[in-house]
Structure 1
């Protein structure tokens, strides 16, 4: 396995050159980080270059690194908040790659769409837009895919309240579903753990 990863790592460095911002080989997986300016060009090269041939985009998701400053690896402690992570597969070469790109603006996170490179990116990018608010420039139909049409906010952002902002219920008087402010009071539950000496006969 390590020989195959070493071969892929060497090929990525040789083919992409300066477009490689980071290339991490951790736990038997390669993670390639590129700048948002090079994102589409690198993705196209990963798909088309005969030494790489990543024909399939198997997954794409958003990430919010805003709380990674608290005890997280130093590479995420500073820098942009939002990231898009893609998982690629080469059937011809039988290898995989994780591709990462960070949005440069935390207030309006935006990266280019990969829909023209891999058509499977379509719904994945819609999901990342819906849940994280990441805008995919050039996407053919960027709209919510999981939340309701009138939903406000992006529920996978770290600053989104767990209980949400509104709740939905059926009103028998109006004979329809209505939205209202959340009635659940926020609270923090800390479990109480009691350990007895010699519990279960163990010392």
Structure 2
């Protein structure tokens, strides 16, 4: 199945595909922003493809791609093996655009799925809306705009959908603080809700796990900097 779809995609789109690859039984194609609408329309309408449904749309922020949360030579940087072996990996530097808009398509008639990836620049986060192709993109694109700041040109009602009225910033961006910028409380004297600068102390929330074998005891360092036996 994946091999047949790979062949069909190559024959139909040829040079329009930036990349086309199969991994773990799933196919991902990358296309340029200028070709988005034409490629998506053919993916829906071509008899051999027939991707009738857009089942999901999301965004990936590659701002900190390849960077470790903790600066330590005693813990690996990723996966469940983190902290068991010394990390010899060098930090990777992301060389491409910061954001990728990702579309997940489903063909009911052909019983096949496809992931489509399209990159947008950080200083120009605009991309055409696909509402005219799949109406289900409406709320997905509003969510992507709200949480990542992606502007979908041609969207009929591009408003925030997840955050509060007057919210500043896009909370799913990697450079947005986890504790936020403001906090909300009810002021009894004013008899209304008021916004104030956030009072939570910022800290790294990813656990720092450092396991050392000593008399068959494993020591795990907690995020606060303390340690405990595991």
Which residue, out of 89, 100, 118, partners 1:83? 100
Correspondence for 2:44:
47
Which residue, out of 151, 159, 165, partners 1:135? 151
Unpaired runs of at least 5, structure 2:
68-88, 219-230
Q: For 2:164 and 2:171, locate their aligned partners in 1 and report how far apart those are by CA, in whole Å.
A: 12
Q: For 1:133 and 1:193, locate their aligned partners in 2 and report how far apart those are by CA, in whole Å.
A: 36
Correspondence for 2:181:
165
Kept after mapping to 2: 8 A contact 1:167/1:179: yes
Unpaired runs of at least 5, structure 1:
none
SS in 1 for 2:33: coil
Correspondence for 2:203:
187
Cα distance change of structure 1 residues 64 and 72 upon mapping to structure 2, 3 Å threshold:
farther
Correspondence for 2:215:
197
The structure with the greater share of residues assigned to helix is 1
Which residue, out of 7, 10, 24, partners 1:10? 7
Residues 132-186 of structure 1, C-alpha deviation per residue, up to 9 Å, x if partnerless?
A: 0000010011010000111000000000001010000111111111111001122
CA RMSD of superposed structures (Å): 2.3
Correspondence for 1:20:
17
Q: For 1:150 and 1:108, locate their aligned partners in 2 and report how far apart those are by CA, in whole Å.
A: 22
Kept after mapping to 2: 8 A contact 1:68/1:77: yes
Superposition map of 1:48-67 within 5 A? 48-67=45-64
Cα distance change of structure 1 residues 177 and 39 upon mapping to structure 2, 3 Å threshold:
same
User: 1:57 Cα shift?
Assistant: 0.3
**Count of residues in Structure 1 that have an aligned counterpart in Structure 2:** 195
SS in 2 for 1:77: coil
Residue 27 of structure 2 is aligned to residue 30 of structure 1:
yes
Correspondence for 1:175:
191
Residues 21-63 of structure 1, C-alpha deviation per residue, up to 9 Å, x if partnerless?
A: 1011011100010000000100000000001000000000111
Kept after mapping to 1: 8 A contact 2:6/2:21: no
When normalised by structure 1's length, the TM-score is: 0.89
When normalised by structure 2's length, the TM-score is: 0.79
Moved more, 124-133 or 65-74: 65-74
User: 1:72 Cα shift?
Assistant: 9.9
User: 1:108 Cα shift?
Assistant: 2.7
Cα distance change of structure 1 residues 24 and 73 upon mapping to structure 2, 3 Å threshold:
farther
